[in-house]
Amino acid sequence: MGDPTGWDEPAPGVLRRRLPGWDETVGAVVGDDGVLLVDAGPSRSAAAALADGLRRRLGAPVTRLVLTHAHFDHALGAGAFPRAERYAAAGLAASLARGARAALAADAARHGADLAAAEADARAVPARWREVRRGLTVSLGGARSVVLASLGAAHSPGDLAVLVPGTPPVVFCGDLVEESGEPQAGDDASPERWPAALDRLLAIGGPAARYVPGHGAVVDAAFVHAQRAALAQRFGIGAPRP
Ligand SMILES: [Zn+2]
């Protein structure tokens, strides 16, 4: 890709990068007020390295953070941004207060992370978030804004997509879409609601958008349509009655 910091740019001022290890994607959107980071990566050290790379490349700090969902590989780096404006789907603060930090650390350890380090990162996840119930437009300064769209429970208890209007529009999908493998449906997924969440995602982005999956290469609307159909079949939704 030619960029030593590992970022590529699916649209002007809109960046994304796949991380080593769990291959989760993080995104960045540049505005006059700084950089909006989409997902925080799996640890504070990974997150700090991301912020360093963005500052070198863009000359601007991370001033805002949005989480597409609260799985460890996307969220455990959040403690690296205590002063950023932070956005997440509704319910995150309550779930953190109910003990989600321990579950995040345990999940990270199950996937090969060091438990003590993951527990420290989990304790550092900020308690306060601006929670998105439906949609929220966030200005990043100048002409740049993004739309945060809460899509409810599907891949996780709270999935949030980020639309960056422009030419082309870019949609950060979180793990509602995966390109590098089958979408992962864990114990906390709501499979019956997943296809409808993808319908909303497609309505938000439209046919010309570039869709950035939580894992894998950037895809188009046709890929998302096909994944929606595959998920509906996999979960037995909309199948003809016997
Ligand atoms: Zn996930």
Q: Which domains are delineated in the chain?
A: 8-234 (3.60.15.10)
Q: Give the distance (Å) from ligand 1 centre to CA of residue 107.
A: 11
Tell me the C-alpha to C-alpha distance, in Å, between residue 137 and each of 45, 74, 115, 147, 215: 29, 22, 37, 4, 25
Q: What is the pLDDT of residue 2?
A: 47
Contact criterion met (CB below 8 Å) for 207 and 237: no
Compute, in angstroms, the gap from residue 111 CA to the centroid of ligand 1: 12
Q: What is the pLDDT of residue 238?
A: 66
Q: Ligand 1 centre and the CA of 174: distance in Å?
A: 7
**Residue that the structure tokens 């999908």 belong to:** 173
Q: What's the average model confidence in pLDDT over 207-219?
A: 97
Averaged pLDDT score across all residues of the chain:
95
Q: pLDDT band for position 237 (50/70/90)?
A: confident
Q: How far is CA 89 from CA 64, 108, 181, 195, 214, in A?
A: 15, 21, 25, 18, 16
- Gap from CA of 143 to ligand 1 centroid (Å): 31
Residue 157 C-alpha to ligand 1 middle, in angstroms? 10
